[in-house]
Every structure is written in structure tokens, then in C-alpha cells.
């Protein structure tokens, strides 16, 4: 079974994506987003973060490979009385247009190959927020795929064309199972 089919199954069985509370990091740094912004929520799942951004007034694109996740995302958005622009796409096959968005957020999904593309997709001054599992998570869940965890300094190295706003990617203490970066693309010099 393909990865996409596996994710569809999880969402169909409602084994995943029932949490509708936005990530606390997004809430803490919500001042970085405003109603004039286009934001892409990459690998959005059922849209807890996308819906939060839409409530802030952002034009929110919710992208995921699972059509079932997006169906639920649209349903939850409708129930929350906000509009989401859902895009079904496999991030292994998709490239984002250059300088097309004011912000990209990505929670609990990791694809090292996307780093250059994401930096290029931001408009000058645009914000990237990424938070996902790090190597400490393998102690909690040894069956988790080690290809999808961050090592110390991975985020800093991946997004070296951006200016750091906030960073926690040293994987300490060992109880800290996620790393994050918030960073801004430099404004175009005149």
C-alpha cells in the first residue's frame, strides 16, 4: 500500500487528525501572521493549524497528499465558519512556485528535500515556521521511521538562507521530542 493510501486509511478510520487545537507555537507567534498574508500549511492533515490561520484572516492554503484529510479539513473549516483553500498534492512530486507566499507553516512532517524549494517559495520578508519530531522521539516510539526525525542543528542547516527568529533544534533535554525553527527570508535589497 502506498504512503498516501496509508494516510487515507488512518483518516478514514479517524485514527488521526481528531485534535483540532492549533499547535501552541503557532499561537505564541501568531503576531507574525496577519489578514493580508497568504499562508501555506504543508502536510496540513485535518487542518487544525490552517483553520487557526484562516481565523486570523489569512488566505490559507491547506496542502496534503491525503484527500480524506482534506475532506475533513474542509468540513472542520466550514463548521468553524472559515474558508480554506485545499490542495491535494504529493510533496515528493510537487514544487511550489517561487516567491509565491508570505508564509509557510509545517508541523509534524519532514522532508529534507524540500528545504531549497520552501525558501525559494517565500516572498522576501516571508516567514517559515516548522516544528516536527527529533531524534529523542525514537526513545518514546522506537518504531517511528528514523528517516523522519531531526538531528541537532538540522533545521538551522536546512534553512540557512533565512534569518532566524526563534530556534530550538539542539534536541536537549532528552525529554524534548520536537525541534522547531521560525525564520524570515531577507527582504530584497534595493
Ligand X SMILES: C[S@@+](CC[C@H](N)C(=O)[O-])C[C@H]1O[C@@H](n2cnc3c(N)ncnc32)[C@H](O)[C@@H]1O
Which residues contact residue 141 at a Cβ distance below 8 angstroms, ignoring those fewer than 6 apart? none
- Report the residue number, 44 or 183, with the smaller CB distance to ligand X: 44
- 180 binding ligand X? (CB under 6 A): no
Please choose, out of 32-40, 58-66, 75-83, 154-162, the segment that lies near ligand X by the rule CB under 6 A: 58-66
Cα–Cα distance, 99 to 102 (Å, whole number): 8
Contact yes or no for 21/48 (Cβ under 8 A) = yes
Residues 63-92 that bind ligand X (CB under 6 A): 64-66, 69, 90-92
* Lateral strand order in the sheet of 38-42: 85-88, 59-64, 38-42, 101-107, 122-133, 178-184, 163-168
- Report the residue number, 90 or 160, with the smaller CB distance to ligand X: 90
Please choose, out of 61-69, 71-79, 137-145, 163-171, the segment that lies near ligand X by the rule CB under 6 A: 61-69
Q: Could you list the residues that contact ligand X (CB under 6 A)?
A: 3, 7, 43-45, 48, 64-66, 69, 90-92, 107-109
Amino acid at each position: 500500500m502506498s504512503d498516501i493510501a496509508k494516510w487515507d486509511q488512518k483518516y478514514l478510520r479517524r485514527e488521526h487528525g481528531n485534535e483540532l487545537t492549533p499547535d501552541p507555537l503557532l499561537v505564541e507567534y501568531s503576531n507574525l501572521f496577519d489578514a493580508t498574508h497568504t499562508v501555506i500549511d504543508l502536510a496540513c492533515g485535518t487542518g487544525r493549524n490552517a483553520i487557526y490561520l484562516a481565523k486570523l484572516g489569512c488566505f490559507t492554503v491547506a496542502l496534503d497528499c491525503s484527500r480524506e484529510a482534506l475532506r475533513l479539513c474542509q468540513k472542520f473549516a466550514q463548521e468553524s465558519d472559515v474558508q480554506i483553500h485545499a490542495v491535494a498534492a504529493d510533496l515528493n512530486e510537487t514544487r511550489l512556485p517561487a516567491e509565491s507566499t508570505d508564509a509557510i507553516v509545517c508541523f509534524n512532517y519532514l522532508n529534507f528535500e524540500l528545504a531549497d524549494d520552501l525558501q525559494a517559495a517565500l516572498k522576501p520578508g516571508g516567514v517559515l515556521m516548522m516544528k516536527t519530531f527529533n531524534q529523542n522521539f525514537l526513545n518514546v516510539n522506537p518504531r517511528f521511521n528514523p528517516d523522519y526525525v531531526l538531528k541537532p542543528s538540522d533545521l538551522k542547516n536546512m534553512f540557512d538562507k533565512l534569518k532566524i527568529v526563534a530556534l530550538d533544534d539542539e534536541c536537549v533535554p532528552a525529554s524534548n521530542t520536537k525541534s522547531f525553527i521560525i525564520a524570515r527570508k531577507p527582504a530584497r535589497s534595493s
